[in-house]
Amino acid sequence: MKANQKFLTDNERGDIGVGTLIIFIAMVLVAAVAATVLIYTTGALQQKATKTSKEATQQISSNIVVEQVLGDRGETSNQSINDLLIRLKPDVGTTSIDLRQVIVTIMDSTKRYDLNYSSEGYNSSNTTNTTNTTYTAIAVRDEDMSFSNTTPVLNSGDLIEIQVSANAIQGIVLAPRKTFWLSLNQELGQAVNLEIATPNSFGVNRYVRLYP
């Protein structure tokens, strides 16, 4: 009788040991799966954080500074402005800016025009060389020779002049006391928005200072 009791006790201990082993193995498997999920999630979050920080840096470090906006009347007898001449440069610390990705928007209370870059060339006296919905540009200062008609890229220290002809904004007549809005929308960074009012009189000068 005592032998049977001892056998039953040993058998119960064996069952408990096997059950404990199964639970232990299950815990190890669950921990391994959880560790794999955590490692994958951490890697994905790290990639997203790196991409987000890079995009945020580009957004902050991409900025266009408009130095001057002139109106070219062509002839001093004209009572309206033919061409808009916009001088701009990259801000301090700005990465390279490709004009092919910059949209120039000009609008008044009734008309709006979104203009894209054209590589056809710049002509300060002839406004018929620019097709509608486009603008052209030349380099005023370009020490590293990075800017050309085919690769209009602005680097630090460059000074570029954009020409918007009357053909591109033919629905907007830039006469005296005219208010219009100018926007430069780049691929990265904040858009530049200007509200410009033409002078009360153009006087006898061919070039009219509009901004600043």
**The predicted structure's pLDDT at residue 126:** 44
- How many CB atoms within 10 Å of residue 179? 10
| Percent over 70 (pLDDT), the chain | 78
Are the C-beta atoms of 201 and 176 separated by less than 8 Å? yes
Query: Distance from CA of residue 194 to its chain's centroid?
Result: 18
State how far the Cα of 115 lies from the Cα of 136, in Å rounded to an integer: 10
Q: In sequence order, what are the residues at sequence separation of 6 or more whose Cβ sits closer than 8 angstroms to the Cβ of residue 143?
A: 157, 158
pLDDT at position 40 = 79
- Residue 61 burial class via C-beta count within 10 angstroms: exposed 0-12, middle 13-18, buried 19 and up: middle
Question: Across all residues in the chain, what is the average pLDDT?
Answer: 81
Residue 181 — very low, low, confident or very high, per pLDDT cuts 50/70/90? very high
- CA distance linking residue 177 with residue 161, whole number of Å: 24
Residue 124: pLDDT band with limits 50, 70, 90: very low
Quick: pLDDT tens for 148-180.
888 899 888 899 999 999 889 988 999 999 999
- Helix-, strand-, coil-residue percentages of the chain, each rounded to 5: 30, 30, 40
Q: Output the pLDDT for position 58.
A: 47
- Decide which of 75 and 194 is more confident: 194
Bridge partners for 154 per DSSP:
97
The fold of the 63-211 domain, in CATH, is Immunoglobulin-like (2.60.40)
